[in-house]
Structure 1
Amino acid sequence: VGQNCALAAQVGLSGGVKVGNQVLLVGQVGIANQVKVGDGAIVTAKSGIHKDVEPGSIVSGYPAISNKLWLKISAIYNRLPEMYKILKQLERNFKDKK
């Protein structure tokens, strides 16, 4: 673990993990074996890291993806069943018109 890092409660680091300088690991983050977390990276709460994290990036989720994408996905997550239903209906309508 590098200099000036902050690790919150229940952060788990597997063997061989390398954490750069000024990294923030928020609560309940888990990092798999031999992963590198670059300088200045931020890993948000309850994230699972299975591959290297680029310096300066912000990642979220399990498996961890860019925070920006994770926020978009989270915004529609609860609507997915209804969206799926609509998509299936559109597919049936399209198929019937062929």
Structure 2
Amino acid sequence: MERALRTLVGAWLPCPIGPLKIDLVGGFFALVPANPIPTLLGFASHIVEEFDRFRASLSQDEFQRCLRSPSTRLRPPISCDGAILTSSIATASTYP
């Protein structure tokens, strides 16, 4: 995983994010860019795609719970069945 991370960050140029604001992300307060940054969204999407292979598979109980929970089904970038939902994010930028 560390090798994959080094490879990933070596392929991307720094992305200025500009001013930040406080927002709720997944029920937690977080500093987020004040304005949308397509390159940053594309980078986030790329990270999900690259590191999904390191994620443990859902257990049958987790899978069933995910199917029953509307909030989980609607939360990008990963669906209940583990498929990556990046089409709306990935189109926001060009990968290196």
- Per the normalisation by structure 2, the TM-score is 0.24
Bigger share in helix:
2
With a CA cutoff of 8 Å and minimum separation of 6, indicate the structure with the bigger relative contact order.
2
Bigger share in strand:
1
Q: Which has the higher Rg, Structure 1 or Structure 2?
A: 1
- Per the normalisation by structure 1, the TM-score is 0.23
